[in-house]
Amino acid sequence: MLFRRISRTDPEKVFVIAMNSYSTASLTNGQVVQWDFLTDVDGVGLSRPSGMATNLGSAVAGVAVETIAHEAYGLIQVYGYHAAVRARACTSDDVIALGSGIRPPLAADFFCAESADLSGTLNYHCMGFALSIWSSWTTTTIKAFIKAL
């Protein structure tokens, strides 16, 4: 783990170094990733989220902070403020509200975070909370505080 030096003007951030094992594309800044528990199974490989039905978000690794080519290593943010997390509302009826939980996507194969289930009927792992508002199914970037440890 890499811990960014504490500074009064820039909050703490924690990173891990991991490998992009996703087979067809590079990872880019802001994309949500999970540990690859299907192919590599080595605790180093990352892939796109497999959907909440598979593991309820417990395999989320964090958010990419740089472009990481296939089979290359790069930084994944696991804790702290991130100004450009890829996100969308879970359904057309949901919204991402200030301070609301964000989680990996409900459906498989999307590199974004989604709004938490506001009804409270689903038990899943929140990967952080929103510092922006968004109310569309269209993916955008939001400010968020990541807690994917």
Q: 82: alpha, beta or left, given left = phi > 0 and alpha = psi -120 to 50?
A: beta
3-state secondary structure of 91: coil
In terms of Cα–Cα distance, which of 32, 57, 58 is closest to 47? 32
Specify the pLDDT at position 118. Answer: 60
- pTM of the predicted structure, to 2 decimals: 0.85
Contact between 57 and 30 under an 8 Å Cβ cutoff? The reply is no
The Cα 118–Cα 101 span in angstroms is 9
* pLDDT band for position 117 (cuts 50, 70, 90): low
Of the ranges 16-30, 66-80, 114-128, which one carries the lowest mean pLDDT score?
A: 114-128
Question: Which pLDDT does position 114 carry in this prediction?
Answer: 80
Average pLDDT, the chain: 83
Query: Does pLDDT of 110 surpass 60?
Result: yes
Question: Are the beta carbons of 33 and 64 closer than 8 angstroms?
Answer: yes
Is residue 55 very low, low, confident or very high in pLDDT (cuts 50, 70, 90)?
A: low
Query: Any idea what the Cα angle at residue 48 is, between residues 43 and 51, rounded to 5°?
Result: 105
pLDDT of residue 48: 81
What average pLDDT score do residues 102-125 get?
A: 72
Q: Which helix (H) or strand (E) holds 53?
A: helix 52-55
Q: Distance (Å, rounded) from C-alpha 37 to C-alpha 42?
A: 8
The one-character DSSP state at 38 is: T
101-103 and 113-115 strand pairing: antiparallel
Q: CB atoms < 10 A from the CB of 119, how many? A: 7
